[in-house]
Structure 1
Amino acid sequence: MASRTVPKSAIPITNPNSKSITITSPKPEPANGRSSKESPESSSATATNSTPDPATNSPSTTNHPPANVAPISEAPRPSTAIKPPQNTWGSLDMGGMNIKNLPGSNGLFTFTFLINLYLNHNALTIVPPRVGLLTQLKEFYIFDNHLASLPYELGSLYQLQTLGIEGNPLDASLKNIAQKDGTQALIVYLRDNNPAAPSPPVRQWKNLLTGPEREALAADPNAETVSVLCFNILCERYATERLYGYTPSWALAWSFRRDLIMKEILRHDTDIVCLQEVDIAQYEDYFSKRLADEGYAGVFWPKSRANRLTGAERRQVDGCATFYKSSRFQLIEKQLAEFNALAMARPDFRKTDDMFNRILGKDHIGVICLLEDINTGTRLVVGNAHIHWDPAFSDVKLVQAALLVDEVQKAADRFAKLSPRPPPPVTPGVNDDPDQPISQRPPPVYTEGAKIPVIICGDFNSNPGSGLYEFMSSGHLAPNHPEFLGHAYGVYTSEGLKHRLNLKSAYSAPGAGGEGHVTNFVPGFQGEIDYVWFSAGNLGVNAVLEELDSTYLEKCVGFPNTYFPSDHVAISCEFRVKPPRDQSAKLSTTNPGTPTSL
């Protein structure tokens, strides 16, 4: 054993080469006051993530979550249940135990909460690459072993402060880097020189319709489909080594990431593309021009703080961009939903400190587009939003989502009042192909806004168990919901949140795989916070882009990486349009096999 005082929280391991490691600790004192000594049982220690260092108040962290902080938290809910005690050990001492082999399957590499790890004074010749999964490590001692090399995956340990490698027959260049420039320089070297890992499986489309339903849809001359992609692309200002220290610097560079982002967008060739975290410079210099070449027109607004800035600093402000295929859709109206301005304009919102400090200080936005199909006259209301990230402001998330939905409803009501589009002229010789079905449906007439299909995409920074998800998917939320945190916001907290859009998440559709798939993948959080909401009364889901391969994710520390250019992943789906009921009834005998419901 190493002649060193083991930290008080260190846990000695007696059989490190077994397939799994079981750590036992004295049973915590029960809540009823009885001593744990009164029971002969012992319990396994349950490890918990260590609390990350507080984020600084720089723009990169106040407007964007650090990679080791989750954008969600469990809402405070009243409960009389006794919570189990939490163990807070974070050090593990396996030094001086003559360990010769540490297989990658060892349970040690599941202890992702470890802060200090001692493997010194052993006989190791290899450190398994899976050590890169222990991203909470700050001290790692492997001196006095037989190591001739170090795994490149050590470069993923972006929080590592001390790496003890003395007494190993290592390559002289590695030793020189550590001795001359320190641990961080060695970590950066390993990170940036890590050979590209095997590429992940290509994500496929998951069809939710049966074969006969697909055939009926293709044969129906009145059938319409629309496809959508939603993607938070991680704007250049936030893609820093301080926030994403596990990502190679070259893979964080905008010149590298933008090509991967564009490749992902074009690969799916959707009718509508909703992007978040697009800054002004990226939109003007790259996306608007590049996507125009592919037949897309765009609508973009930056966050509110752009109004206070000028020059290069203003061009770094991010916002939301919505693109649509100009050969199919005409933009009838576009609208900026500036959440802090909308809140200030509401007469029922009292101008309290909470309003100024919690709502008005957040400059998140939504972009609303009213689109009309040039050929069929079918209308769409498309919302695109980025909701505040901080879990300490769950009330702000609810208010921003409610304001967005309110504006979408108003926009749909305005849209319904416009006269229907005249049918396209019939040109002799056109559509004479007997194999190409010809639509017999006149342009739809929308008697109210609720009849118009609605799609709302975005990064909502809320998981499926949140109050925001409950509100969006059910159409209501109780005024005393705990995620309001006791703050008062007019009608929202006196009568509750309500909407009449009949929204559902595309990935909650039968056969889509259910909610809970990963859309945001960083060391501090892996889960679903991005959504494509749709009005279930007039849209149905045909297909969704499948979730990420779980086996691949198990080998990753977090995104961005060589293959994924953002900390978020794109989600995409295809919808079928259900015409207004009065028109669909007239055409119901045309193709009775065509699916009409979700």
Structure 2
Amino acid sequence: MGKKVSGRKSSSSQFSIKVDPAFDHLSTTMTIKEFAVDARITSLLVNNEAYRIIRDGIPVNTVNLALTPIVNQHFMPTIIYNIRNTPVQLHWFVKNELQLEKMKKTGPTKKDVEALNLSFVNEEDRVFQLDGYIFKHTGPYYTPDENDVDRLVAVVVDSGINHPAHAAISSRQTLKAPDEIITDEQVKWCKENALKDDENTIRLMSYNILADAYLELDQVQEKLYFNYCPKAYQRFFYRTPLFLKQLHDFADAGVSIMFLQEVDISCHSNFIKPFIETIGYSSELAKKLGGIREGVATIFDQKRFRSTSSNIYALSELAKSEEENEDIWRILSTSKESLEKFETRPTVLQVVVLEDINSGVVLICANTHLHHNPSDEHLKAVQALICVRKVLKIYYDERKKAPEKDIRLIFGGDFNSTPDGPAYKLMAEGILSKDDDNWKRCDKKIVAADLVIEKSLISLTGVPDYTNFTADSGGKPGFVGCLDYIWGIDVASKRVCPMPDHQKVIQYKGLPSQNAPSDHLPIICDIEL
């Protein structure tokens, strides 16, 4: 919750407002509407004190601090703008008094916010003070330290001398840091294997970050899907600061292209996109179809790459509209059940074309999150084939348009297929036989045919023991397996970052946990061009 704060207050109990005498000759016959839009009138007298008139509107609507401040994790506000792309400065404060009792309310009340006493130390230089709070620093985000534990955090958002400032306080006091984050060892490996100025090597990452929409945290703890993980550690306002720190650390350790899945739309717009822009990265989001409020995002280092195009393709539409998918449509049409399931899946394929600013190498970057249900392994294979055919078509089109350019293909994502699954087999071997057991196991009515990819792909990240690790929960067995991959064509894997230590993964039974914001682990590799 935020509070708007303007520059000056009058102590007079009487209130009067009139046009500055300098403009009397303009205002004698004006209507209120005419007066409001006439840019020649630049000031009013309020209680005989001159105030400038600003007519470009208030650029910031509201500010709030919904995330939980956590020591050593990155913390930022949600800013709702009336005027997009308004430049703002964020001034961070921490409360003097400790908040020793746990806050029972979900956030600050209007009364709490109105009690903030914000004033200027120097209005011209935009220097603020907040009674009862210590100024910490000015910057786009705040990283609490040990001295902030049990204290509330406040932010002042300032859009300039012509507009009111906004103040907001955190919904919860600052928490101690987890002992370590599950990916700390991976970050350490990346830094030990620094790329430095190696223009021929690119570091890639793929990571399913766990959409908040699927957690259903309104249920009691025992009924939760991940009931072994305390509800407090599953909430977005706890997980997001951990994830932002992961993003920052991996970027700082040389990861220049990141494929993310299960990206909540609101999390992307409020936190991920504004945060990564502060470190010189850019993000392209591809929302799933219909009312699904999550999707995939491709993040890249703007200092190294420029985006030449970004497109989203619905797999259900590609099956009908692309000529090369006639065989798929024939197969699906033999089973009403499989066809209906396929057509109602919200799955999308994102393709972002990046050009290396220094070398000119063009990277076709694809990203997807295939259907999850283990009862529909045949549909995952069909979705994988549609994806690969589309990215190969784009790959060949780009080579035809610019034969002089060096063009490569990388394809990251959560493919929801273990190495013995049909989707993985198809992508790695280039064919899935019509006699594969999964056809009839999944749908006895379907009339299968061979699925063929003209060019098989290489798994650049290999096959880890697992990328998804969940414990038994509520009588349901957990899952341990490799579902995430980064595939490539015309690229070679130089080295693969080791996965986190298994003992750390099972420290709190499974993922997610207080030191792991997702049920998946990131996979990272270096490719050589």
TM-score class normalised by the smaller sequence: 0.5 to 0.7
| Cα distance change on mapping 1:499 and 1:492 into 2, 3 Å | farther
Cα distance in 2 for residues equivalent to 1:196 and 1:526: 27
Residue 384 of structure 1 corresponds to: 367
Residue equivalent to 1:445: 405
> Contact 1:519 / 1:570 at 8 angstroms: preserved in 2?
no
222, 227, 234: which one aligns with 1:252: 234
Q: Residue type of the partner of 1:531?
A: Y
Q: Distance in 2 between matches of 1:492 and 1:319?
A: 32
Aligned positions of 1:240-389 closer than 5 A: 240-241=216-217, 242-269=224-251, 270-306=255-291, 317-345=293-321, 346-348=325-327, 349-350=329-330, 351=333, 352-389=335-372
- The partner residue of 2:451 within 480, 486, 496 is 496
State the distance in 1 between where 2:186 and 2:346 align: 36
Residue number in structure 1 paired with 2:480: 526
Relative distance call for 1:254 and 1:337 in structure 2 (3 A) is: same
Among 496, 500, 509, the alignment partner of 1:548 is 500
**Alpha-carbon offset, residue 456 of structure 1:** 0.9
- The residue that corresponds to 2:211 in the other structure is 235
The answer on 1:515 being equivalent to 2:464 is: yes
1:431-456, Cα deviation, whole Å (9 max, x unpaired) = xxxxxxxxxxxxx535xxxxx32111
Match of 2:20 in 1: none
| Preserved CA contact (<8 Å) 1:303 1:319 | yes
| Aligned partners of 1:368 and 1:408 also within 8 Å | yes
CA deviations on 1:197-225 (whole Å, 9 max, x unpaired) are 854673247989xx9xx99x9898xx511
Instruction: Quote how far apart the aligned CAs of 1:302 are.
Output: 0.9
For residue 413 of structure 1, what is the aligned residue in structure 2? 396
Q: Is 1:574 the equivalent of 2:526?
A: yes
Structure 1 length as normaliser, TM-score? Answer: 0.51
SS in 2 for 1:507: coil
Decide whether aligned partners of structure 1 residues 205 and 258 sit closer, same or farther in structure 2, where only a CA change above 3 A counts. closer
Deviation at 1:541? 1.9
Query: How many angstroms apart in 2 are the aligned matches of 1:411 and 1:520?
Result: 34
Quick one: distance in 2 between partners of 1:225 and 1:460? 25
CA contact (8 A) 1:338 1:364 kept: yes
CA apart distance, 1:331: 1.4
Taking the aligned partners of 1:530 and 1:238, their CA distance within structure 2 comes to 19
User: Residue 185 of structure 2: SS of its match in structure 1?
Assistant: coil
* SS in structure 2 at match of 1:453: strand
Shift of 1:273: 1.1
Q: In structure 1, what is the Cα distance between the partners aligned to 2:197 and 2:351?
A: 33
Q: Which residue of 2 aligns with 1:484?
A: 439
Structure 2: gaps (5+ residues): 1-175, 218-223, 473-477
Match of 1:460 among 415, 419, 434: 415
Deviations 1:142-168 (A, max 9, x none): xxxxxxxxxxxxxxxxxxxxxxxxxxx
Secondary structure of the structure 2 residue equivalent to 1:485: helix
**How far 1:487 sits from its partner (Å)?**
7.8
Structure 1 unaligned residues grouped into runs of 5+: 1-194, 307-315, 421-443, 447-451, 509-513, 578-598
User: Secondary structure of 1:417's match?
Assistant: helix
Does the Cα contact within 8 Å between 1:405 and 1:499 map onto a contact in 2? no
Task: Say whether the 8 Å CA contact 1:505–1:532 is kept in structure 2.
Answer: yes
SS at match of 2:290: helix
| 1:203 partnered with 2:179 | no
Does the CA contact (< 8 Å) of 1:462 and 1:529 recur in 2?
A: yes
- For residue 203 of structure 2, give the secondary structure of its aligned residue in structure 1: strand
Contact (CA 8 Å) 1:332, 1:371: kept in 2 or not? Answer: yes
Secondary structure in structure 2 of the residue aligned to 1:244: coil
Offset at 1:278? 0.9
In structure 2, C-alpha distance between the alignment counterparts of 1:339 and 1:475, rounded to whole Å: 19
* More strand per residue: 2
Q: 2:165 aligns to what?
A: none
1:51 maps to which residue? Answer: none
Aligned to 1:231, what secondary structure does the other structure show? strand
Deviation track 1:261-318 (CA, whole Å, cap 9, x = no partner) reads 1111221211111111112212222211111111112211211114xxxxxxxxx611
SS at match of 1:203: helix
* Inter-partner Cα distance in structure 2 for 1:388 and 1:464: 16
Q: Give me the whole-angstrom Cα distance separating, in 2, the residues matched to 1:557 and 1:497.
A: 40
Shift of 1:401: 0.6
Within 2, Cα distance between the matches of 1:560 and 1:408?
32
Deviation at 1:525, TM superposition (A): 0.7
Name the counterpart of 2:384. 401
Amino acid at match of 2:522: A
How far apart are the structure 1 equivalents of 2:437 and 2:391? 25
In structure 2, relative to structure 1, the CA distance for the partners of 1:405 and 1:259 (3 Å cut) is same
1:175-206 residue CA offsets vs partner (Å, 9 max, x unmatched): xxxxxxxxxxxxxxxxxxxx998546732479
1:468 aligned counterpart, secondary structure: helix
The within-5 A match list for 1:129-140 is none
Residues 331-370 of structure 1: per-residue CA shift (max 9 Å, x gap): 1222212111122334441345135322112111121111
Question: Is this contact kept in 2: 1:370–1:381, CA < 8 A?
Answer: yes
Are the structure 2 counterparts of residues 199 and 206 from structure 1 closer, same or farther at C-alpha, using a change threshold of 3 Å?
Answer: closer
Task: Tell me the distance in 2 between the aligned counterparts of 1:291 and 1:197.
Answer: 23
2:375–2:442 contact (8 Å) kept in structure 1: no
Q: Is the 8 A contact 1:337 1:404 kept in 2?
A: no
TM alignment of 1:15-94, pairs within 5 A:
none
The 1-side partners of 2:178 and 2:284 are apart by 37
SS at match of 1:271: strand
**How far did 1:564 drift?**
0.3
Are 1:304 and 1:338, in contact at CA under 8 Å, matched by a contact in 2? yes
Q: Compute the RMSD of aligned alpha carbons.
A: 3.1
Distance 1:463 1:375, change over 3 A: same
Please tell me whether the aligned partners of residues 460 and 485 of structure 2 are also in contact (alpha carbons under 8 angstroms): yes
Write the deviation string for residues 215-258 of structure 1: whole angstroms up to 9, x where unpaired: 9x9898xx511111111111111123422222122211111111
Partners of 2:306 and 2:355 within 8 A in 1: yes
In 2, the alpha carbon distance for the partners of 1:496 and 1:372 equals 32
Distance in 1, matches of 2:447 and 2:297, equals: 28
Q: State percent identity of aligned pairs.
A: 25
Change (3 A) 1:453 1:344: same
Tell me how many residue pairs correspond in the alignment: 331
DSSP 3-state at the match of 2:296? strand
Specify the SS of the correspondent of 2:401: coil
